[in-house]
Amino acid sequence: MSIFSKLFGKKQAEEETTRVGGMEDFMTLIRVYYQAVMATNIGISNINFLPDMAVFKRTLKIPTQNNKLGIAEKSRCKKMLSEIYGLPDAFFKEIDASIKKNVRNVNDVKTYLFMFQGFSQDLMMLIGNLMQWKFRMPGVFKKLLRGMTEKTVHDILTKMSWKDESVHKTCVAIRRYQQALGYSEAWINEYVYNIVLLAKKEPKPKE
Which pLDDT score, from 0 to 100, does residue 175 have?
97
Per the prediction, the chain carries an average pLDDT of 86
List pLDDT tens digits, range 81-139. Answer: 999 999 999 999 999 999 999 999 999 999 999 999 999 999 999 998 888 756 566 55
Percent of the chain whose predicted confidence (pLDDT) is above 90: 69
pLDDT at 12: 41
pLDDT for position 198: 85
Is residue 19 pLDDT above 90, yes or no? no
pLDDT higher than threshold 80 for residue 13: no
Angle at 3 between CA 28 and CA 94, to 5 degrees: 35
**What is the structure's pLDDT at 184?**
97
The amino acid that residue 200 corresponds to is K
Degrees to nearest 5, angle at CA 202 with 143 and 80:
75
- Say whether pLDDT at 200 is over 80: no
| Mean per-residue pLDDT, 22-26 | 85
Predicted pLDDT at 133: 56
End-to-end distance of the chain based on CA atoms, in angstroms?
A: 26
- Identify whether the C-beta of residue 74 lies closer than 8 Å to the C-beta of residue 40: yes
Residue 98 CA to chain centroid, in angstroms?
14
In order of 4, 20, 22, 24, 165, the CA distances from 17 in angstroms are: 14, 9, 11, 13, 38
Q: What is the pLDDT of residue 11?
A: 47
Give 153-162's long-range contacts (Cβ < 8 A, gap of 24+).
153/127, 153/185, 153/188, 153/189, 153/192, 154/185, 155/130, 156/123, 156/126, 156/127, 156/130, 157/185, 157/188
Give the C-alpha separation, 124 to 144, whole Å.
Answer: 19
**Average pLDDT, stretch 164-173?**
95
What pLDDT, on a 0 to 100 scale, did the predictor assign at position 190?
Answer: 96
Domain ranges of the chain: 1-87, 106-202
pTM above 0.95, yes or no: no
CA 26 remoteness from chain centre: 7
